[in-house]
């Protein structure tokens, strides 16, 4: 990745623009590795580049432009984009990524501003458990939230495979796989007398439906 910044007359005085060049080695459709270092040698200066697409964001002054050169992707970006991003995170501003940015950046910043000091460590999470539980009950389908707000513990998830421990839309292949796995584990737990008693006890204490734990007889 190569980045250059410069001031230009077509952006506000306090801003600069960034030329973001994605030069990460990638494989092409033929399976062969591309050679970005070769294409970088012939990449023109920002004033000479030809852009094939553009994106306009409501939250950022100026227009983002996108183009390609060989295996390189390049973007002409108002630096204000990165100043506006949560924690000023630096990312390749592809059109799809920018749609996610526009939808989730501000809600994420607001949630972090409101909740982070109450969930940043496990002791703080425990101290604010009542408020967090009340917040959980207020959530509706489609709401945006933080993993650290809905995962027990201040750190949230540190498994390097978070998707396995979140959720999937009902009817997707991933959701079906989780349901199959859940049913298999439930049968094994209910077949063990010691585990079964603990499982049903936990369900009863936490408002679970024992009928959904498997074919359990009263």
> C-alpha distances in angstroms, 148 versus 1, 102, 167?
31, 21, 15
- pLDDT of 217 higher than 50: no
* Residues 66 and 98 placed together within one structural domain of the fold: yes
Distances (CA, A) of 41 to 69, 72, 83, 136, 174: 11, 11, 30, 53, 44
Q: What pLDDT score was predicted for residue 69?
A: 93
> What is the structure's pLDDT at 111?
96
Q: What is the pLDDT of residue 97?
A: 93
Tell me, yes or no, whether 139 and 54 share the same domain: no
Tokens representing residue 10 in the block: 């077509």
Output the pTM of the full model.
0.63
Rounded to the nearest 5°, which phi and psi values hold at 18?
-120, 135
| Per-residue confidence band for 213, with pLDDT thresholds at 50, 70 and 90 | low
The answer to whether residue 172 is domain-embedded is yes
Residue 113 lies inside a defined structural domain of this protein = no
State whether 85 and 6 are in the same domain: yes
Please report where in the chains the tokens 């933080």 appear, as a residue.
Answer: 146
The rounded mean pLDDT for the chain is 82
Mean pLDDT of 76-84: 91
Domain span at 185: 167-213
Do 137 and 45 reside in the same domain of the chain? Answer: no
pLDDT digits (tens, 9 = 90+) for 144-184: 999 888 876 545 455 555 555 566 778 888 888 888 888 88
In sequence order, the 6+-apart residues with CB closer than 8 A to the CB of 211 are: none
Specify the pLDDT at position 68. 94
Question: Above 80 in pLDDT, residue 28?
Answer: no
Residue 53 lies in a domain: yes
- Tally the domains of the chain: 3
Return the minimum-mean-pLDDT range out of 55-59, 148-152, 194-198, 214-218.
214-218
Same domain, residue pair 149 and 172: no
- Beta strands at 53-56 and 72-78: parallel, antiparallel or unpaired: unpaired
Q: How far apart are the first and last CA of the chain?
A: 63
**Domain finish residue from 128, 144, 162:** 162
> Percentage of the chain surpassing pLDDT 90?
38
């Amino acid at each position: 990745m190569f980045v250059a910044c410069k001031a230009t007359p077509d952006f506000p005085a306090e801003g600069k623009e960034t030329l973001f060049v994605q030069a990460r080695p990638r494989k092409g459709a033929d399976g062969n590795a591309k050679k970005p270092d070769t294409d970088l040698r012939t990449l023109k200066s920002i004033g000479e580049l030809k852009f094939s697409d553009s994106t306009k964001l409501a939250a950022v002054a100026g227009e983002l432009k996108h183009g390609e050169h060989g295996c390189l992707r390049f973007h002409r970006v108002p630096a204000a984009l990165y100043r506006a991003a949560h924690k000023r995170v630096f990312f390749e501003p592809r059109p799809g990524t920018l749609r996610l940015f526009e939808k989730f950046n501000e809600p994420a910043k607001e949630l972090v501003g409101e909740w982070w000091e109450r969930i940043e460590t496990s002791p703080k999470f425990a101290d604010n458990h009542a408020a967090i539980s009340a917040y959980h009950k207020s959530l509706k389908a489609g709401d945006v939230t933080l993993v650290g707000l809905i995962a027990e513990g201040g750190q949230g998830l540190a498994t390097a495979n978070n998707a396995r421990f979140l959720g999937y839309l009902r009817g997707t292949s991933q959701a079906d796989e989780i349901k199959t796995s859940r049913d298999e584990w439930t049968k094994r737990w209910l077949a063990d007398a010691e585990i079964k008693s603990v499982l049903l006890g936990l369900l009863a204490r936490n408002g679970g439906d024992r009928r959904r734990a498997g074919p359990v007889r009263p």
